[in-house]
Each structure stands twice: as C-alpha cells, then as structure tokens.
C-alpha cells in the first residue's frame, strides 16, 4: 500500500503543476476580457475559479505526505476525492477539460476515476504517513534534500512542457494522431516506457560485460531476473508497474580494477539513453511525409522520455531504493567514504563468482566508510560486511560487536529491509551471542516478510530452533539447508555458507550428546 501512496503522490504533484499552470494562463486571459464584447459564461468562470483551488489541494496532498505531516491523510483523501469526481464528470460529459494535448492519446477519464478510487482506499488508514527520512541526504553522498524531493516534479514538468512543444510542432506540420482504444493506448504507453528502461539498463550491462564483469540482476519494471544461489531466477512483481524503473547489478571478476571502469559502466546507461533519444528525435522530426508519419506522437513520447532520462539520471539525487547514476559517479570520484562503500559492495559481489571470501575484504575501507556513513541501509550493509569479515576470520568478539552495531543502525534508521537481510541477525543472535529471545525476535521479523526458502533461510531457521532447544526441528532445517548449500557453485561466498553449516552442525552434535 505504501508503493500505491507514493505513486499517487507523484500524480498529485503532476496535477498541481497542471492546474496551477492552467490557472496562471487563465488569469492572464482575464486581463483581455474588457476587449471582448461578450463576457465569459458562468461555466467558464466556474472552471477558472476552480483551477487554483484544485492546484492547491493537489499540492498540499503531495507536500504533506512527503514531509510527514499529520494532515497528510486528510489531504490525500481530498485529492483522491477530486480525482474520482473529475473522472466521473469527464466520463459523463465525454469531454476533456483541463487535459493537456500531451496526454490526449491516453484518454485520462478512466485513469482519473481509477486513481481516485485507489487513493481513497490507500489513504483511508490513519497511519498512512510517517516522516520519510530516506529523502534526506546522507553525509557526503552528493545529494541535496530539496533536489531529492523535487527532482521528479521537475522532471514531470519538463516532460509536459516537452510534449506540449511537440503538439504545437505537429499542428504546424499538419500532423494528426489517430485515436485508438483506451487499452491500446495504455499498452503502447507502457511498452514505450519499458523499452526506454530496457535500453538504459542494457547500457549498464553491456559496459559491465565489456570490462569483464558478470551480470547478476536485470530489472525492468515488474520483470526481474536475478541470480540467486548461482542460478538465474525470474519473478514478475505486479507493483513494478506503479513506478516503472530498472536496475542492473554486476559483479567484478577483478577486485583491483581501475576506477574508470566503474565510472564508465555507470555512465553507459545515460549515454545509451541519450543516443536512443537522439535517434528517436531524428525519426520524429523527419516524420512529415514519411511512411511513419502517423506514428509521430509515440516517437515524440519516446524521444522526450529518453532524453529526460539521460539528463535527470546525471543529476545527483537519491530515492528510497537507489541513487541516481550522477550520484554514483560523484561518489566514485569523491575518493572518500562513499568510494570506499562502493569498493566494499563490489568486493562482496565478487565473492559470488570468484574464490574471494569475506575474510578477504578490505576491512580498513569498510571501517573508514562506516565511520562516516552511520544511518540508512548503506550503513547497515557496511556493518554486516564487517561482521562477515570477522566471523570468517574466527574473531567472534569483533563479529559480535559489528552485528550489534548493525542492529543499532537497523533500529534507528534502516528497519525496512528485505527478508534475506534478516538471516545474519538470526544466525548471529543464536550462534554468536546465544541470545534465544533476540533470535526469536529476528526470526519473527523475517517470517513477516515471506522469505524465500533458500540455504540462508534454512541455516537461520536451524540456528533459531537450536537456540530454542528444539533440536529435532533444528536438525531437519539443517539437513534441508545443507542439501541446498552443497549444490551452490564453487565461489567464495558459497564456500563460506558451507562452513557456517559445518559450524552449526558441530553445535547440534554437542547439544545432542548433552541431551
């Protein structure tokens, strides 16, 4: 439901831009009324008066949500009610008042009604909003709090302005758009967005492959391909349609590669988006008189989207899930803690395809980064990497301290983690600290996330059951997990997993003899 509310708030921001912009032009239009012989109609006057009110409602809905205000629920319901009302009105009248030509090929009447109903459902709960700390920049990450919050609004405004320009250009060149069914246009819109994301992420993947890196994940909207435990796995996540984006993860085979290779890999995404946008721009501008003339609007849409993607991605900003390419390039060039963080994460990825193990990490770089990066999931990851390093070296006291530091970060600023990230806490609480209650708490947290039943899950579950003195169940879980671990590829990370199973097996044997 949180993803729905986030998506709707971007729509509220878009509505605020459209209505406030329209109200400005409406105000300028009023100045010419004395020169007009006939006064505006009552309907026209009502629409003009409603424009700024609607813009303010939408603007307050997104602003209060993003800033964590207590009034966010009320404004969210109000804006959603406006969407539902306008959707019903437009469907009834079969007109498109207030609809920009840029989106005319995607009949918005049904969308408005759908957004309204979805918003009423999503904002009906009283705990719909909490202060979103993720939009605040972390020290040294190269982002800005205002940019983090405004980047999508600015990008949406630029997209609308660009499409309006294309519409005027089409009128000048006597081009028309052949209207088709709503479902046809919606499918076309989604297909073009997905194509843009595929091209962008392909740039990252191709550059990584050229530098000897191995592809580990490729995500395009709801379509996700990931390597899990040495095997490619496909998943379809329906919520990916709410905010179509992408991600590419690569693992380096050479941990001592030069920095410029990482920078080129990151920059390749915006570069190929810019190239694709340039080709689409040429095709659009040359459409008059060509065989693809009737397809000028989809081409214009793809052109604008690709060029904006290239430009916006080079601006340093962060969202809840990722940093922009511009932010990552800045961090790599900073030669500070964030460069150390990227190196640490690359080393961790390398353990999945090379003989390198956690004990081979550069612990000095991890601790340098951790001393400056103290909040959020990056800080949590760093401390878990340190715990893995010390545990693989047999330094139980240091591993226990690193895990305690990770737990402190979790409680303060990084509680929204994946199910898989709970497993080291469960194993650490049970095996390292012999903390049965702590292991139970973390295991229950993991179970609420519906984790995958992989080797990491079973070793965490076995350790948890062992800490609860449920030895028969612990052995059953260990056998399931160990069977999976033996099938994992011969790489450093998986050899470490097999060692952890061996360590836990010894404890189970000792407990069995004692029993």
3-state secondary structure of 338: helix
Instruction: Indicate whether 153 belongs to any domain.
Output: no
Instruction: Indicate whether 314 belongs to any domain.
Output: yes
State yes or no: pLDDT of 492 exceeds 60.
yes
For 178-218, the pLDDT digits (tens) are 766 666 777 788 889 899 999 999 999 999 999 999 999 99
For 75-112, the pLDDT digits (tens) are 888 888 888 887 787 766 655 444 444 444 445 566 67
Number of domains in the chain: 3
State yes or no: pLDDT of 74 exceeds 60.
yes
Q: How many Cα neighbours within 13 Å face the side chain of 229? A: 17
pLDDT confidence of residue 128: 57
pLDDT confidence of residue 416: 82
Instruction: Indicate whether 152 belongs to any domain.
Output: no
- Name the pLDDT band for 121 (thresholds 50, 70, 90): confident
Residues 118 and 263 in one domain: no
Most confident stretch, 6-20, 77-91, 218-232 = 218-232
Residues 310 and 342 in one domain: no
- CB atoms near residue 5 (< 10 Å): 19
Instruction: Indicate whether 143 belongs to any domain.
Output: no
Supply the range of the domain harboring residue 184.
Answer: 165-326
For 297-355, the pLDDT digits (tens) are 899 999 999 999 999 999 999 877 789 999 999 999 988 899 999 999 999 999 999 99
Q: CA quadruple 477, 408, 366, 396: dihedral positive or negative?
A: negative
Instruction: Indicate whether 149 belongs to any domain.
Output: no
Instruction: Indicate whether 157 belongs to any domain.
Output: no
pLDDT confidence of residue 435: 93
State yes or no: pLDDT of 16 exceeds 80.
no
Angle subtended at Cα 190 by Cα 168 and Cα 265, rounded to the nearest 5 degrees: 95
pLDDT confidence of residue 98: 42
State yes or no: pLDDT of 496 exceeds 50.
yes
- Name the pLDDT band for 38 (thresholds 50, 70, 90): very low
pLDDT confidence of residue 30: 42
State yes or no: pLDDT of 130 exceeds 50.
no
State yes or no: pLDDT of 237 exceeds 50.
yes
Residues 208 and 241 in one domain: yes
Instruction: Indicate whether 151 belongs to any domain.
Output: no
Residues 320 and 365 in one domain: no
pLDDT confidence of residue 55: 79
Is residue 129 within 8 Å of residue 77, measured between CB atoms? no
Instruction: Indicate whether 191 belongs to any domain.
Output: yes
Scanning 211-360, the segments in alpha helix (DSSP H) are 259-285, 296-313, 325-334, 337-350
pLDDT confidence of residue 175: 87
The secondary structure of 16-73, three-state, reads: HHHHHHHHHHHHHHHCCHHHCCCCCCHHHHHHHHHHHHHHHHHHHHHHHHHCCCCCHH
């Amino acid at each position: 439901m949180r993803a729905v509310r986030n998506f709707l708030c971007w729509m509220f921001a878009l509505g605020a831009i459209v209505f406030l912009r329209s109200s400005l032009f409406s105000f300028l239009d009023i100045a010419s009324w004395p020169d007009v012989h006939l006064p505006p109609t009552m309907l026209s006057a009502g629409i003009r008066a409603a424009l700024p009110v609607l813009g303010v409602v939408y603007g307050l809905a997104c602003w209060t949500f993003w800033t964590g205000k207590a009034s966010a629920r009320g404004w969210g319901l109000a804006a959603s009610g406006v969407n539902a009302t306008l959707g019903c009105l437009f469907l009834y009248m079969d007109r498109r008042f207030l609809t920009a030509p840029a989106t005319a090929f995607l009949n918005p009447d049904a969308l408005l009604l759908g957004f309204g109903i979805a918003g009423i459902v999503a904002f009906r709960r009283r705990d719909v909003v909490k202060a979103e700390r993720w939009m605040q920049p972390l020290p040294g990450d190269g982002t800005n709090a205002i940019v983090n919050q405004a980047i999508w609004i600015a990008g949406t405004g630029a997209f609308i302005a660009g499409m309006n320009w294309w519409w005027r250009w089409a009128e000048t060149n006597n081009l028309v758009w052949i209207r088709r069914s709503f479902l046809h246009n919606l499918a076309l819109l989604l297909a073009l967005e997905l194509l843009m994301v595929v091209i962008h992420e392909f740039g990252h993947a191709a550059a990584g492959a050229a530098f000897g890196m191995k592809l580990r994940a490729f995500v395009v909207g709801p379509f996700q391909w990931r390597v899990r435990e040495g095997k490619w796995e496909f998943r379809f996540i329906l919520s990916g349609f709410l905010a179509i984006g992408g991600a590419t993860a690569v693992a380096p085979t050479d941990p001592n590669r030069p920095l410029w290779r990482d920078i080129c890999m990151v920059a390749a995404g915006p570069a190929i988006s810019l190239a694709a946008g340039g080709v689409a721009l040429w095709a659009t501008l040359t459409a008059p008189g060509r065989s693809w003339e009737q397809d000028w609007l989809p081409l214009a849409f793809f052109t604008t989207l690709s060029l904006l993607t290239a430009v916006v991605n080079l601006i340093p900003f962060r969202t809840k899930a990722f940093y922009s390419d511009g932010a990552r390039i800045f961090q790599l060039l900073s030669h500070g803690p964030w460069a150390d963080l990227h190196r640490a994460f690359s080393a961790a990825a390398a353990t999945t395809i090379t003989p390198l193990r956690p004990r081979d990490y550069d612990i000095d770089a991890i601790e340098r980064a951790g001393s400056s990066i103290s909040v959020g999931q990056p800080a949590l990851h760093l401390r878990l990497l340190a715990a893995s390093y010390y545990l693989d070296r047999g330094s139980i006291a240091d591993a226990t301290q690193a895990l305690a530091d990770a737990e402190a970060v979790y409680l303060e600023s990084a509680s929204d983690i994946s199910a898989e990230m709970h497993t080291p806490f469960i194993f650490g609480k049970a095996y390292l600290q012999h903390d049965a209650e702590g292991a139970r708490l973390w295991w229950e947290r993991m179970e609420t996330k519906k984790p995958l039943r992989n080797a990491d899950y079973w070793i965490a579950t076995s350790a948890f059951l062992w800490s609860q003195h449920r030895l028969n169940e612990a052995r059953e879980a260990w056998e399931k997990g160990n069977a999976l671990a033996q099938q994992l590829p011969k790489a450093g990370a998986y050899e470490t997993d097999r060692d952890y199973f061996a360590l836990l097996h010894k404890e189970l044997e000792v407990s069995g003899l004692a029993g």
